[in-house]
Amino acid sequence: MKIRRSLILSCFLYVFTVISLAAGTKALTPIHNIQGTGMASPIQDQSVDTGGIVTGLTSNGFFLQAADVDADEDPLTSEGIYVYTGSAPVVAVGDEITLTATVSEYYGLTELGSVSNLNVQSSLNALPTPIELDATFPSPDRPYPGTDLERCEGMRVKIENGVICEGNDYHGDVIVAAKAVRPVREPGILYPGETGFPVWDGNPERFQMDPNGLGLADQDIPGGTGILLATGPLTYSFNRYKLLPDMLQLADSTFPEAVRDRNPGELLLATQNMLRFISTNGNYSVRLTKASLLIRTMLKAPDILCLEEVGTETVLQDLADKINADDPTINYSVFFGASGTGDIHNGVMVRDNVQVNTVTEEQVDDTFDVNGSTYTLHDRPPLLVEASATVNGSSQLISVLIIHNRSLNDIDADLDPDPDPDRANFVRTKRQQQAFRISQFMEEYQTNHPLTPFFVAGDFNAFDFTDGYVDVTGQIKGHPDPLGAMMPATDEINPDFTDLVLTSPHSNRYSYVHDGNTQIIDHILASHSARYYVRNVQFAHVNADAPASYVEDENPDTPIGFSDHDGLVAFLDFQPQGVTPSWFAIVPHVDYQPSSGDPSSSFWKTVISITDSETSPSYYHIAALDKEGNTVAETRWLTLMGHNTADWNLNMIPFSTPLSSSDYGRIASMKIESDGSFALAERFKARGIASGLELRTVSADDWTDAEAQLLSEVAYIGHIDESWQWWTGIAHWTNSPGGEITLDFHKYPDTADVDTPIAMDFLDGSTPINKVAYVSQDVTSTEDEEWMKISGVSGCNTMSYQLFGVHEGGSSLGVMSGLNATPANRLATTFYIPMSKDVDWRGIALLNPGDTAATITLDMFVDGSNMAFPSKEGKSQLREIVLTLDSKRKVKGVVGASKTTNLDLSSLVLGLSDSTHFTGILKIVSDVPIVTELVQGDNSWSHNEGITGISAFDTDTKLVIPFISNDTTAPDGFSHTPHNGIFHITNVGSANTSISVTFMDENGNIVASKTLENVAPLFPIEADLSSEDNLDHFTGSIVFESTQPLAGSYVILASDEDSGTLPADGHLQSSMFKMASGM
């Protein structure tokens, strides 16, 4: 093949070559000499003798290309050219010809004209091999080489597995890309952009195709249609390269695509731009019929339908009447926003199961100042609808704000050939001010109506990210795009709204197509009180991909092409019926003590992270309990869509009733149930300190079955430290009414045990759930051998764990760790302890709670090998430590620091160039079941975290991190707090394996993926999110999958402040977890 992927540009003299013919004939100038290496021919306006093979015929010319054997080796020269004849050509495809002609440039197309001496040398010749176009050629990157497709001008090209980016225009042409995935609009200002602001490359890989340019049958082709195969010559017309196919094979199209049918009990909320739906425009009766079809068959007759670009209230009523005439079961009432400065307005239609309480046009009189003048802010003022919907026999409040903001037209007028900077400034300022005022209204409304599901829907005329000039959607939803803008967004909203379009599949996620780029400019935002009642969000693709012939279609039998926007539908489920939970979890300890009437003022805060493990939505119910097991608050059945993550401060959980500060203070634990599998983690945080607990989820028939799996009669805490400034807090959760537990505290070198029976304090002696916190006092030992056995009495089963840390006092200290107690039924003989390079020391505790001595072997692995020596034989100092641990004894050692302990672990790091900072995995094997624990930190006491050892109960071929972030503007739990996340993964199987790593954002979208190839057993891998490519500002979950069992852990680091960056020293809110089983 002639075209090469990488170009080597060098300075060279342009040298003509000639094609020698038979004796007595003229020497011919090769086509590649006519085309040259630049954008225009170097011999323009000259007469040449040339020749080649005819590759395609048009109505007034033909394409001529050199045979493969006559092609040169220069990748910058084309071997093809268009020959203009002015009338039907007299040659045939496959003819080898010679001719005399004049070289010219016709609006950028190099061509031959004034043809004479045309002679056919032979016929039925094989055509030259086409140049293959693919995902890398033409280049998708900037700076785009100007000669990228110029070097193919006039030549035969080939597309396999390409895509139609946009349906036929009025000339029948389509925009295509030589790749399977459609180009999408991305953040930023169009290349070359503006210094200091995000830049969008413009998707330079797009070009045109004229399906009948060489006489193939004319056909309507919708956007999104796959190209199985297309071959033909490449021409240039109206500033675009264009393929004229002589062969075109298309995949079956799924266009048009309606949204799914509603499920019983669902309420449908939709938005649709109606494209100047005015009674005097076009064939009004036909448009009414098409609109009725669109709403009934494609949008599935939404209960609340927000409409933009409607002319009058009469038009809305005509539409409602037409829908009812076409389907008498559908009755709509109409409401219209008559204010504004133009002839198009906002409106809403509601079905008879929705009772509208009020309809108000907001900010009607608002103005803004720009360029020394004052202007009306909203040409189409936002329309607020407050309503009650009847759902499964119950009344449900719902509020919707309908908006239609200023378009993007002229936003870059300062870059026009005739620049108009004042016009550009006007457009940018108006868009920014509209978004700002709307966001202020939204915050005020959700503050005054905290439990009312509140949606904002309409034609935002803005992408789901910054356009580089103004971050409209970021401003409106309260989550500014970190990429910024010339007029940046400000955060006026807390909690943030969710842009529901981001929960839809990537392939379905667009409402508009502009110049072949799919994009979202229509949105539905949900308040925090509304987000978790959304089951699905879908676009009805019936307009944006329509061939242009349908736009003026007089055919009333199809909804295709009624508008230029696709409609968007949200499926809401406020009152689900008959949900049967099958997965359960207990959050055993919640500490949330607001210091004022504002729940967010709590010094201690509890955050839970839930990641749905299903591909389809699941229902969740959360009950918050006090210490006696009474329900303080509970949610209705909430929805998490497939692979979505909820990361909630306690005050952000959407309980069904408002809670006071005292209510929050009463909450001591939570129970979570779902009809789908999920991963769960919990974090406690206060200024400067945090800790994390991994929480088990179990599949069970009911709560009785779940508690039998989650609770145990006996559990062990392997390390308690009350010496120096350390403190230890121990908490228990039990389901046994009137039950009793015994805390059996062990301390050495003393031989006596301290037994502390605690009677559970129930209010009425019959409630089934209880919890108590116990803080050990006056127990100190220089040998650090304290541990505890927790025993239920008379069948009382518990879930226990500990928090321990350093008293802050007057010093700068103040760190905390959290560790689950190890239930007796989860003792193990093999453990894996992660060694992180980002800490200074790692404390290892080993406890033998049994009745016989344990022989324990500790082996350290770095890079999957014996880190000290290639062989242990004949060496006096080994990487392996073997010890005997007597019955009911505990030892503690430290890796990476010189600390006085009763277990020397220094030989584990022998031979390392840096024995403190390294990535490793410590394998611990015992001949009897034991308890292992890890606590790690740094020498400046800026962070401290820990986990129990990873055992076979925790390893799996699929592991999940429910929440991790490196976002400085993360929504939900750690709102607006800088983050970083570190993860550690090890193959603990018996053979090499590949590990797939999938990063999913909070909305379940795959934002990145990679495969770690051929990972050896016990080869530890550690990474932090800030070092991962294309993961800036990532917040979400990570899934690891392999054919071998994996051991995984992760750490969440956050600043101790509500703004700023992660400090190099000082406090960090650090939490460590074992990864959850992938279920």
Mean pLDDT across the chain: 87
Q: Residue 126 carries which side chain, given as an amino acid letter?
A: A
Final residue in a domain of this structure, among 72, 100, 122:
122
Task: Please tell me the least confidently modeled range out of 199-208, 629-638, 865-874.
Answer: 865-874
- Output the CA–CA distances (angstroms, integers) from residue 353 to 263, 267, 530, 1026, in the order listed: 16, 9, 19, 50
Predicted local confidence at residue 927, as pLDDT: 97
Predicted local confidence at residue 785, as pLDDT: 55
Predicted local confidence at residue 747, as pLDDT: 66
Q: Looking at residues 561-589, what average pLDDT do you find?
A: 95
Task: Please tell me the least confidently modeled range out of 510-524, 542-556, 1016-1030.
Answer: 1016-1030
Q: Could you tell me if residue 148 is inside a domain?
A: yes
DSSP H stretches of helix in 527-591: 528-531
Predicted local confidence at residue 535, as pLDDT: 96
Instruction: Judge if 552 and 406 occupy the same domain.
Output: yes
Q: What DSSP line would sit under 940-967, residue for residue?
A: T-S-EEEEEPB-TTT-EEEEEEEEEE--
pLDDT band at 7 (very low <50, low <70, confident <90, very high): very low
pLDDT above 70 for 750:
no
pLDDT above 60 for 805:
yes
Instruction: Judge if 216 and 311 occupy the same domain.
Output: no
Q: Could you tell me if residue 996 is inside a domain?
A: no
Q: Could you tell me if residue 1057 is inside a domain?
A: no
Instruction: Judge if 338 and 475 occupy the same domain.
Output: yes
pLDDT above 80 for 369:
yes
Whose CA is closest to 208, among 246, 245, 241, 172?
241
pLDDT above 80 for 554:
no
Give bridge partners of residue 835 from the DSSP assignment.
920
pLDDT band at 607 (very low <50, low <70, confident <90, very high): confident
Predicted local confidence at residue 1063, as pLDDT: 47
pLDDT above 50 for 8:
no
Placement of tokens 């584990």 in the chain? 908
Pairwise CA distance, residues 534 & 1011, whole Å: 33
Q: Could you tell me if residue 308 is inside a domain?
A: yes
Q: Looking at residues 768-774, what average pLDDT do you find?
A: 37
Task: Please tell me the least confidently modeled range out of 325-339, 525-539, 878-892, 950-964.
Answer: 878-892
Task: Please tell me the least confidently modeled range out of 33-37, 216-220, 440-444, 910-914.
Answer: 910-914
Predicted local confidence at residue 65, as pLDDT: 98
Predicted local confidence at residue 511, as pLDDT: 98
Strands 798-806 and 726-734: what pairing? antiparallel
Q: Looking at residues 384-394, what average pLDDT do you find?
A: 95
Select the highest-mean-pLDDT range: 509-513, 836-840, 877-881, 1054-1058: 509-513
- Output the CA–CA distances (angstroms, integers) from residue 630 to 99, 138, 669, 792, 973, in the order listed: 96, 66, 10, 22, 25
Pairwise CA distance, residues 295 & 275, whole Å: 14
Burial 914-952 (b: 16+ CB within 10 A, else e): eebebbbbbbbebebbbbbbbbbbbeebbbbbbbbbbbe
Domain that holds residue 45: 31-122
Question: Does 1016 or 521 have the greater pLDDT score?
Answer: 521
pLDDT above 90 for 765:
no
Q: Could you tell me if residue 677 is inside a domain?
A: no
Instruction: Judge if 246 and 350 occupy the same domain.
Output: no
Pairwise CA distance, residues 862 & 912, whole Å: 9
Q: What CATH number is given to the structural domain containing 297? A: 3.60.10.10
Helix (H, G, I), strand (E, B) or coil at 71: coil
Task: Please tell me the least confidently modeled range out of 637-651, 852-866, 921-935.
Answer: 852-866
Q: Looking at residues 682-697, what average pLDDT do you find?
A: 80
pLDDT band at 774 (very low <50, low <70, confident <90, very high): very low
pLDDT band at 874 (very low <50, low <70, confident <90, very high): very low
Q: What CATH number is given to the structural domain containing 59? A: 2.40.50.140
Q: Could you tell me if residue 734 is inside a domain?
A: no
Task: Please tell me the least confidently modeled range out of 250-254, 439-443, 740-744.
Answer: 740-744
pLDDT above 90 for 145:
no
Instruction: Judge if 239 and 153 occupy the same domain.
Output: yes
Asked whether 75 and 2 are in contact (CB, 8 A), the reply is yes
pLDDT above 70 for 406:
yes
Predicted local confidence at residue 802, as pLDDT: 78
Asked whether 695 and 624 are in contact (CB, 8 A), the reply is no
Q: Looking at residues 454-467, what average pLDDT do you find?
A: 98
pLDDT above 80 for 863:
no
Query: From the centroid of its chain, how far is CA 812?
Result: 38
Strands 226-237 and 247-250: what pairing? antiparallel
pLDDT above 70 for 808:
no
For residue 332, give every residue at least 6 positions away whose Cβ sits within 8 Å of its Cβ, in sequence order, or none.
Answer: 305, 319, 320, 323, 324, 349, 350, 351
For residue 740, give every residue at least 6 positions away whose Cβ sits within 8 Å of its Cβ, in sequence order, or none.
Answer: 757, 758, 759, 760, 792, 793, 794, 796
Burial 286-305 (b: 16+ CB within 10 A, else e): ebbbbbbbbbbbbbbbbbbb
For residue 117, give every residue at least 6 positions away whose Cβ sits within 8 Å of its Cβ, in sequence order, or none.
Answer: 49, 98, 99, 100
Six-digit token string for 775:
């803080």
Q: Could you tell me if residue 465 is inside a domain?
A: yes
pLDDT above 60 for 771:
no
Six-digit token string for 807:
């008293």
Tally of residues, the chain: 1079
For residue 12, give every residue at least 6 positions away whose Cβ sits within 8 Å of its Cβ, in sequence order, or none.
Answer: none
pLDDT band at 1067 (very low <50, low <70, confident <90, very high): low
Q: Looking at residues 255-279, what average pLDDT do you find?
A: 97
Please compute, for residue 307, the number of CA atoms within 13 A of its CA located in the half-sphere on the CB side: 36
pLDDT above 60 for 658:
yes
- Output the CA–CA distances (angstroms, integers) from residue 527 to 21, 122, 188, 478, 498, in the order listed: 78, 73, 26, 10, 7
Instruction: Judge if 138 and 116 occupy the same domain.
Output: no
Instruction: Judge if 245 and 274 occupy the same domain.
Output: no
Pairwise CA distance, residues 608 & 587, whole Å: 9
Integer Rg of the chain from CA: 35
pLDDT above 90 for 719:
no
Predicted local confidence at residue 685, as pLDDT: 76
Q: Looking at residues 175-191, what average pLDDT do you find?
A: 97
Domain count, the chain: 3
Predicted local confidence at residue 1070, as pLDDT: 82
pLDDT above 70 for 757:
no
pLDDT in tens, 20-37: 444 445 789 999 999 999
pLDDT band at 902 (very low <50, low <70, confident <90, very high): confident
DSSP H stretches of helix in 469-513: 472-477
Task: Please tell me the least confidently modeled range out of 369-378, 517-526, 907-916.
Answer: 907-916
Predicted local confidence at residue 678, as pLDDT: 95
| Kind plus residue range of the DSSP H or E element containing 149 | none
Instruction: Quote the longest CA-to-CA distance of the chain.
Output: 118
Which burial class, exposed, middle or buried, applies to 858 when counting CB atoms under 10 A from its CB (0-12, 13-18, 19+)? buried
Asked whether 818 and 1074 are in contact (CB, 8 A), the reply is no
Predicted local confidence at residue 601, as pLDDT: 66
Instruction: Judge if 115 and 135 occupy the same domain.
Output: no
**What is the percent of the chain where pLDDT is above 70?**
85
Pairwise CA distance, residues 816 & 689, whole Å: 6
pLDDT above 90 for 100:
yes
The arrangement of strands across the sheet holding 726-734 comes to 770-775, 726-734, 798-806, 816-820
pLDDT above 90 for 897:
no
Give bridge partners of residue 447 from the DSSP assignment.
none
Instruction: Judge if 309 and 193 occupy the same domain.
Output: no
Select the highest-mean-pLDDT range: 309-313, 492-496, 775-779: 309-313
Q: Looking at residues 426-450, what average pLDDT do you find?
A: 97
Angle in degrees, 0-180, between the axes of helices 313-326 and 284-293, rounded to the nearest 10: 60
Final residue in a domain of this structure, among 533, 554, 572:
572
Instruction: Judge if 504 and 392 occupy the same domain.
Output: yes
Predicted local confidence at residue 913, as pLDDT: 81
**What is the percent of the chain where pLDDT is above 90?**
66
pLDDT above 60 for 831:
yes
Pairwise CA distance, residues 817 & 686, whole Å: 12
Pairwise CA distance, residues 850 & 499, whole Å: 54
Burial 9-48 (b: 16+ CB within 10 A, else e): eeeeeeeeeebeeeeeeeebbbbbbbbbbeeebebeeeeb
Placement of tokens 């016009």 in the chain? 423
Instruction: Judge if 274 and 384 occupy the same domain.
Output: yes
Placement of tokens 């005022």 in the chain? 437
Six-digit token string for 364:
């009607």
Task: Please tell me the least confidently modeled range out of 39-53, 854-868, 999-1013.
Answer: 854-868
pLDDT band at 600 (very low <50, low <70, confident <90, very high): low
Q: Looking at residues 733-745, what average pLDDT do you find?
A: 69
Q: What CATH number is given to the structural domain containing 237? A: 2.40.50
Helix (H, G, I), strand (E, B) or coil at 356: strand
Predicted local confidence at residue 15, as pLDDT: 39
Instruction: Judge if 531 and 398 occupy the same domain.
Output: yes
pLDDT band at 817 (very low <50, low <70, confident <90, very high): confident
pLDDT above 80 for 959:
yes
pLDDT band at 224 (very low <50, low <70, confident <90, very high): very high
- Strand residues in 238-382 grouped as ranges (E): 240-243, 247-250, 267-277, 304-310, 332-336, 345-351, 354-361, 367-370, 373-376
Whose CA is closest to 589, among 605, 611, 610, 570?
605
Predicted local confidence at residue 781, as pLDDT: 39
Which burial class, exposed, middle or buried, applies to 410 when counting CB atoms under 10 A from its CB (0-12, 13-18, 19+)? middle
Final residue in a domain of this structure, among 192, 216, 250:
250
Six-digit token string for 964:
């991790």
Q: Could you tell me if residue 151 is inside a domain?
A: yes
